[in-house]
Amino acid sequence: MRRHLQLSIKQLTAGYINGQLSPLQVAEQALEDAVKLKTLNALVRATPELARQQAQESTERYTKQQPIGELDGITVAIKDNFCTANVHTTCASRMLQDFVPPYDATMSARLREAGAVLVGKTNMDQFAMGAGTVDSIYGPTKNIWSEDLASQDNWRIAGGSSGGSASAVAAGLCYAAIGSDTGGSTRNPASYCGVVGLKPTYGLCSRHGLIPLVNSMDVPGILTRSVSDCVQVLNAVAGPDPLDSTSVQRPYKKLQLPEVDQIDLSSLRIGIPKEYHCDELSAEVLETWTKVADLLETAGAKVRQVSLPNTAASIFVYTILNQCEVASNMARYDGIEYGHRAADERSTEQLYAQSRAEGFNQVVKTRILTGNFLLLRKNYDHYFEKALRVRRLIAEDFAKVFETQQEADKVDILLTPTTLSDAPVYKDFITLSNRDQCAVQDFCTQPANMAGIPAVSIPVRLSKAGLPLSLQLMSNSFNEQLLLTVARWIEAEVSFDSLQSLQRHAI
Amino acid sequence: MRNYIVVRRLATQPKLANAPKRKWKSVVGLEVHAQIASVSKLFSGSGTAFGAPLNTGVAYFDASIPGTLPVLNRKCVESGIKTALALGCRVNEVSMFDRKHYFYADLPNGYQITQQRAALANNGLMTFPVITPGKKVYYKSVNLLQLQLEQDSGKSLHDDYLKRSLVDLNRAGLPLMELVFAPDLETGEEAASLVKELMLILRRLQTCSCKMEEGALRVDANISIHQEGDPLGVRTEVKNIGSVRSISQAISYEINRQLELVADGGVVTNETRNWDAENRRTVAMRDKEVLQDYRFMPEPNLPPLHLNLKPGCRSTKELISVAELSEQIPELPEHTRQRLMEHYKLNAETAIILVNEPVLLEHFVNISKSLAGVPTKVITNFLINDLLTYCNKLNLDVDDCAISAEALKDVLQALHAEQINLQAARQLIQLLHNNPSQTVSQLVTENNLQQICDLASIEAYCQQAIANQPKAVQQYQKGKSKALFAIVGEVAKLSAQKANMKLAVECLEKLLKKQQ
């Protein structure tokens, strides 16, 4: 294992400044490792030339003692649904297999401007529809914590849909990766891969250049090996963007977390939502959940049970809204301006039909068909309109616990599982359909997307099988400061080693 | 009792059948798409110049490049609000955008962003004069149901020879205001008059160029017929109406087509028809449209559009004040007409014609200001009966007539001072149009157009005229006073139209009295 991987981003840049390390050296090692760990299939496309160029420029800046940002020389990877200028952006689909965006997504641009070094684009479920990173034209992504990486189908999935990003961070191919999170797509793979996965408040990070799944829920996510790294990246990418009308216009104030020994939990109120204790929850996750709740209580926090009564409805509402927006968002892929174009040019309709039939997988097609059905004039009120109303109820559930006038009932942070178990074995995972898997996998994560609130998954301990078990924290909108402060405290308390798998595999 | 009624009914049935046929009524509703005059598109930063090279005014968003997002153009919202206010609409505090889905090659996103559920404005009212040739002018009021903002589609160009279609996205995403009018109209002339008035208003507001030939204003008409007392009939929609004149022609044609169809025992079907301007008829569109379900959905990438409706408020970076925009509304055409009628004592017809031709109106105001002594009637008669008629004859837009207001003023001044007569004034219009660099006095001198006013010369012409027209003289002296015109005409002819006719008439009357 590369020794520098144990450093935080802050420590790594300090190493650049004092000359012990150079961005070029770190980038070269990352590129080497990406080749070595090709079996993970974390990257759909490495970008060695760009990485070397950016690392070279960064190295020169450090030589001149003029780094341009807090991420200068930091290796990053970006999920393949964020546009990167002149670098293929495929959404892991045949439809966009040859699509080279002419522009940078705001996330990509801000990383670039902060001096980050892009090592590659990461694997995902096609158009981010999935929770396993198993539905990609580039094949599935493997979890580095798997007992047996070499087996045919007995390895562990990385989770999804940002499985490539989580896998890349866990395997040390980069210090941070950008994912997207619509129903849990950043937190779910973070949970399985034993890394930190942040879903910021909706509107805090720009969606411009993120190829949409569900516009009203999509947020860019951040995956790192530590909470403080996560803050470093968030500080570089968050804030208003005139190109995204749904981004929050007020200026972003950079987060600064207190040192761990300065964190005081005595006035903190933690809520444990009882509805998250679902039937499918594994004993190990439940045990982990209880353990951390106890830790917090012991440290002086007030931990109590709360109720979010509409949680069970969330997955149904999510399914409807997701399919409707998918049907709409996918309408642009007709093979005319860009994307896969079939050979059949007998008529415009025929060309569309054939291009779409060839360009999309079964999951995408099913959602398009269902979504269009649900949007029909005769169905709209029954499904879409009703789903919107229930969505408001779900959001109100959160508002009630975070904003209630009754001080006694109020909580600051909700503590829940992220996923219901440790990472499933690939061959078991694919026995269920994509739809059924999403309903299970997203159970704890997608209510936060409904409400737009921030949530973070942090690894806590290993299961009996030696796989990461993680928990999720949620806070009120724009309270990332508190959310990540508590996450940092737990992180220090449980001292989970994200890189342990690398040692195990002697990589 | 029951039986009696049945009998009664049977007894009266034949009578009903013989009752006079009820009158047929035509019902017309318009939908107008007005392109908002703006520098950039509704949701992107690309330019809007008409006739730019193909596919050059296309931002990534306009081509639906994945990941791009719409950003609402504030100027377009302001233009929409001004238009809504000028048309008496209720401007909505919150309006929203929706996606309207359909597949077409020139619709890159597969949907159009429009306002379906909550439009920018509703409930307007337009009152406008209807001018029908040969009929008295009357005013008509039409309800404006909705004014909404939406994006235009691109253009498909079909090459039948090479069997391929080409797409130009310059128009894709251009800002449109869609105005949906209630079916309150009855005839093609009313529809044309409505559009004419709308164009006057939009031009004054500078919210739309109204150039129909560039597609900046597009009119679709819904037309149906029914018998008085019956519910509205099945309507057809007529599209592709390319000029104001075509509006009245297309609608009149379609009404008559439906009347004849029904008279022949046919049934009007709900269909879209194209106006064929060349052959002056409406034609059913070839591929019959199946009933479209547009699968409307709220546009998730645009937050609701909030406006400040409080009186006296100013606009801020975040919020547009409707009150502030209302202060920027210029005088509207109907107000100008009323002002012309009150201030200059013009009759309604004259005021309408002047307002319809903004150049004439400008000339009128300028001339009457600088020639305070000249009766307004003389000025309006000259502008409308002479200048406008001259332009119409040449099929020339008054805007394109090169005669300056200064020159027109000089002509009228000379006419009023009796330096020239009306015939000479008319001649001068043509001379000025063909020789725009020359002054009126130059042209008068060069073409010898001065009016002859000295009494001796007039008397000489008169005596010659009397000698040339013995028959008319005889009739006149028998008491047929109209015969004098023939003799006056002779004077005009003899003097090459230059004699002062007022003096000539006086002179002739005197001479003929003497002869008696």
The answer to whether B110 contacts A332, with C-beta atoms less than 8 Å apart, is: yes
| Secondary structure (3-state) at B138 | strand
Distance of residue A211 Cα from the nearest chain B Cα, in angstroms: 4
The Cα–Cα gap between B475 and B483 comes to 6
CA distance A421 to B339: 81
Residue A228: both structure tokens together: 């403080």
- In tens, the pLDDT along B68-92 reads 999 999 999 999 999 999 999 999 9
CATH code, B455-515: 1.10.10.410
Tell me if A215 and B301 make a contact (CB, 8 A cut-off). yes
Residue A103 has pLDDT above 60, yes or no: yes
Give the active site residue among A79, A121, A142, A199: A79
Residue B284 bridge partners (DSSP): B273
A209 touches chain B (CB under 8 A): yes
Which positions in chain A touch B71 (Cβ < 8 Å)?
242-243, 245
pLDDT band for position B291 (cuts 50, 70, 90): confident
The whole-number pLDDT of residue B6 equals 43
pLDDT tens-digit map of A297-332: 999 999 999 999 999 999 999 999 999 999 999 999
User: How does residue A211 score in pLDDT terms, banded at 50, 70 and 90?
Assistant: very high
Q: Which two tokens stand for residue B384?
A: 């409308």
Spatial separation of the C-alpha atoms in residues B81 and B120, rounded to whole Å:
7
Measured between alpha carbons, how far is residue A402 from residues A274, A377, A454, B420 in Å? 16, 37, 12, 90
Q: Reply yes or no on whether the pLDDT at B100 is more than 70.
A: yes
pLDDT in tens, B127-143: 999 988 788 889 999 99
Q: Please report the pLDDT score of residue B65 as a whole number.
A: 97
**Confidence (pLDDT) at A507:** 65
Mutate to test the interface with B, among A328, A344, A356 (most CBs of B within 10 A): A328
Nearest to B60 among A103, A372, A377 (CB): A103
The CATH code belonging to domain A3-265+419-504 is 3.90.1300.10
User: Which residue in B68, B111, B294 has the most chain A C-beta atoms within 10 A of its own C-beta, making it the best mutation to test that interface?
Assistant: B68
User: What distance lies between CA B262 and its chain's CA centroid?
Assistant: 31
- Rg from Cα positions in chain A: 22
Taking the C-alpha atoms of residue A51 and residue B423, their distance in angstroms, rounded to an integer, is: 87
Its pTM stands at 0.90
A161, A162, A355, A463: the catalytic one is A161
**Residues in Cβ contact with B398 at an 8 Å cutoff, skipping those fewer than 6 apart:** B357, B359, B360, B387, B388, B391
Where do the structural domains in chain A lie, given as residue ranges? 3-265+419-504
Give the range among A207-211, A334-338, A449-453 with minimum mean pLDDT.
A334-338
Contact state of B69 with A243 under an 8 Å Cβ cutoff:
yes
Nearest to A208 among B69, B167, B293 (CB): B69
Q: Which residues of B touch A375 (CB under 8 A)?
A: 101, 295-297
Q: % helix / strand / coil in chain A, to the nearest 5?
A: 45, 15, 45
> Among residues A134, A114, A118, which one has the least CA distance to residue A126?
A134
- B203 close contact with A: CB closer than 8 A: no
CA atoms of A320 and A461, how far apart (whole Å): 35
Q: Is B311 on the interface with A (CB under 8 A)?
A: no
pLDDT at B7 over 50: no
pLDDT, residue B16, reads 46
A112 vs B: CB within 8 A: no
Residues of A in contact with B103 (CB under 8 A): 331, 334, 349, 352
Distance CA A370, CA B246 (A): 45
Q: Spell out which residues of chain B touch residue A91, defining contact as CB-CB under 8 Å.
A: 66
Of residues B105, B293, B302, nearest to A377 (C-beta): B293
ipTM above 0.85, yes or no: yes
Burial of B85 (0-12, 13-18, 19+ CB in 10 A): buried
Smallest Cβ–Cβ distance between B108 and the set A101, A337, A348 belongs to A337
Does pLDDT of B9 surpass 60?
no
Query: What whole-number distance in Å separates Cα of residue A331 and Cα of residue A368?
Result: 9
Least confident of A447-461, B316-330, B370-384: B370-384
Chain A interface mutation, best of B113, B293, B295, highest count of A Cβ atoms under 10 Å: B295
- Residue B150 tokens, joined: 């939406």
* Residue A327 host element (H or E): helix A311-329
Tokens of A469: 């078990």
Q: Which residue of A has its CA nearest to B305?
A: A245
Closest CA to A47 of A17, A21, A19, A78: A78
Which of residues A205 and B21 earns the better pLDDT score? A205
DSSP B361: H
Stretch A375-403: mean pLDDT:
97
pLDDT at res. B13: 44
Strand partners, A117: A75
Would you call B68 and A208 a contact, using CB atoms and an 8 Å cutoff?
Answer: yes
Side-chain-side CA neighbours of A118 within 13 Å: the count stands at 28
Average pLDDT of the residues of chain A: 96
CA distance A224 to chain B (A): 24
Specify the amino acid at residue A355: S
Chain A residues in contact with B109 by the CB 8 A cut-off are 331-332
Bridge partner residues of B239 (DSSP)? B274
User: What's B142's DSSP letter?
Assistant: E
Q: Please tell me the total number of residues recorded for chain A in this structure.
A: 507
Which of A93, A146, A180, A185 does the annotation list as catalytic? A185
The pLDDT confidence band at residue B438, using thresholds 50, 70 and 90, is: confident
Residue B481 to residue A177: CA distance in whole angstroms = 105
Of the CA atoms within 13 Å of residue A257, those in its CB half-sphere come to 24
Integer Cα distance of A331 and A218 in angstroms: 18
Residues within 8 A of B (CB atoms), A 333-362 only: 334, 336-338, 348-349, 352
CB proximity list for A426: less than 8 A, separation 6 or greater: A134, A140, A142, A153, A154, A155, A156, A157
A34-64 tens-digit pLDDT: 999 999 999 999 999 999 999 999 999 999 9
Task: Please report the pLDDT score of residue B392 as a whole number.
Answer: 85
Tell me, what's the pLDDT at A113? 97
H or E segment to which residue B488 belongs: helix B484-494
- Distance in Å, alpha carbon of B380 to nearest chain A alpha carbon: 54
Q: Does the beta-carbon distance from A334 to B111 stay under 8 Å?
A: no
Residue B10's pLDDT is 45
Per residue in B377-390, pLDDT tens? Answer: 889 999 998 888 88
Q: Quick one: CA dihedral B448, B450, B453, B458, positive or negative?
A: positive
Task: Give the pLDDT confidence score for residue B12 in this predicted structure.
Answer: 44
Chain B: residue nearest A336 by CA? B105
Question: Which amino acid would we find at residue B43?
Answer: F
CB B154 within 8 A of CB B107: yes
Range of lowest pLDDT (A144-158, A230-244, B493-507): B493-507
Counts for chain B of helices (H) and strands (E), in that order: 17, 17
B101 pLDDT more than 80: yes
Residue B5 has pLDDT above 50, yes or no: no
Q: Decide: residue A444, CB within 10 A, 0-12 exposed, 13-18 middle, 19+ buried.
A: buried
Chain B residues lying within 8 Å of A384, measured CB to CB: 297
Domain ranges of chain B: 24-298, 333-446, 455-515
Q: In this predicted structure, what is the pLDDT of residue B11?
A: 42
* Chain B residues in contact with A220 (beta carbon < 8 A): none
Say if residue A453's pLDDT is above 90. Answer: yes
CB nearest A384 (choices: B70, B72, B297):
B297
Local structure of residue A110 (DSSP, 8 states): H
Structure-token pair, residue A506: 């002697």
Determine contact: A241 vs chain B, CB below 8 A: no
Most distant CA atoms of chain A, gap in Å: 72
Q: How confident is the model at residue B3, as a pLDDT?
A: 45
Tokens 């396993």 locate to A132
Our answer to whether residue A161 is catalytic in this structure is yes
Omega of the bond leading into B321 within 30 degrees of 0 (cis): no
Between B385 and A424, name the one with better pLDDT: A424
pLDDT reported for residue A506 = 66
For residues A402 and A396, what is the distance between their CA atoms, to the nearest angstrom?
Answer: 10
Known active-site residue A185: yes
Q: Which of A211, A246, A331 sits opposite B67 (nearest CB)?
A: A211
Contact A209 B300 (CB under 8 A): no
Q: Are strands A219-224 and A176-181 parallel, antiparallel or unpaired?
A: antiparallel
B395 min Cα distance to partner chain A (Å): 43
**What band does B497 get if pLDDT is binned at 50, 70 and 90?**
confident
Any chain B CB within 8 A of the CB of A243?
yes
- Specify the pLDDT at position B403: 86
Q: Among A97-101, A235-239, A503-507, where is mean pLDDT lowest?
A: A503-507
Identify the pLDDT of residue A505. 73
Contact B301 A211 (CB under 8 A): no
